[in-house]
Structure 1
Amino acid sequence: MTRSILSARPARRAITLAAAAALATLGAAPAAHAAYQFTFLSGLPWGASDAQLGLAAGAQIENFEDTALIPGLTVQLSASSSGSYGPTGTLPRVFAPGADPYGNAFIWGTWDGSHALLNTGNNASAPYSSSSAWGDVTLGFGNGGARQVGFSLQNMQQAASFTLNGSTVVPTGSIANFVYSWYGQGYLRIDVTGNSAPITSLKIDGTIYDAWTLDHLAVTAAVPEPQSWALLAGGLLAVLGLARRRAAARG
């Protein structure tokens, strides 16, 4: 890590990044029916409510207070000298920033509770001078994917790329540089817009020099659009009508 977390908390501010599947330019307008919207909230009180964060009602929350993750969620850690794990629904251990033997760089890393996810290959801390312990995190969202994902970011200080469903939709540094300017902390929310595919994976690809935590991971499951429900209902009615006609024909 290149610097320690500062004690002053930033004033309220937010940015929105519109990233289309075919457009990788920061601030580009969403392409019709194919866009994901990134909103970084950098100045809300740490631990702000879900309503303040704009999270959808019914979102499932993973707070990393134990090693078992919420159903459908997996974590993979790669490119770390402290090992690797996943994709898995069970973490190798819990990480408590308040009990970090190397210092207090992650003391604000918990959004709720006393634990968070750290980007090392064993979810344990490492000497802050390490140039290889800090890896990349890939989140997987099963059960049909998610239409909204959110999580806190703390202490991210160098450029990182954010890759959705295997395609980079935010260029390197777009969010991380803004996070850096706000003392490495804030809440990132990603919303599926238009007819974009649900989020099935998100990779946060940072540098080997940068250590950070994420917490209060909110996942809102993808649900069929109203027109999909209408098609499904129409199909069921057609099947039911055919079954009744066949029953009547048999007398």
Structure 2
Amino acid sequence: MDLIKLTNRVALISVLLLVYWVFIFICSSVFGFKVVQTQMTEMFMLSILGIFAILAGAIILNIMYNLTAIARGRPQPQAISPTRSRRLSLLFAGSFALIFALLYLGDAATTSKRERTLLDTASHLIEEQQTIIQRLGNYRFERDYIAQATNDLIRLQRIESQFPQITVIVRDSIEDDLVLMGFSSTNKLRDNQPPSRLDYLVSTTAPERRYLHGVFDAVISEPRYSSQNNKQEVFYPIVTGQGRIVLHLSQFNRYGKFGS
């Protein structure tokens, strides 16, 4: 293989890598496929620069040796037949569908694995820390309960590194309306002032409220897992000797899902 053919192939491979990588980046950004352990945007930009550098080098060498060959009277290369050209075009188009399918299946597999891991971790934490769980289940809207819950949740977060943020959700009422209230490790009681239920209302979506009220009505008993924008969260219902509570355990996985 002469140097001209080699530079042609390097340039072609560089262009293909550039097209495929842009396609992967677009799919990952639009459909939320997270399959890397580093920050996607930074890795994309560095990869693009590297591919452009290889492509530029190959083009410069190709131009130089083509000019030399033309000066020496090199014969013209044979054209690719129409049949082979169509086959290559179909193969190229089909490769995009294959890449998309692999991204989708990989994302689904790693999401399912992540869900099982986090649910198992939450279950183990609850079984292991029954003393804390029973205290959290003894809900009453008083300063003592809020202060103790804050300390207990700090302990749970430090015990389990998978969940840097844990909230206990209970159901209460304000003016005869059922409301969902949450207590976390960041609760701050005001000195010499009684706590207000309004300060502890949980902001939720409509599906989350339906799920949580179903738990407190004893209709739903299964945990709920969700993943959005790199944030994974688990709602874990618990029946204690004093009633029902829900632990909301969440984490933010900034480096994607593959291998995590």
Q: Would you call these one fold, judging by a TM-score over 0.5?
A: no
More helix by share: 2
Identify the structure with the greater strand proportion: 1
Instruction: Please identify the structure whose Cα radius of gyration is greater.
Output: 2
TM-score (norm 2): 0.26
Normalised by the size of structure 1, how large is the TM-score? Answer: 0.26
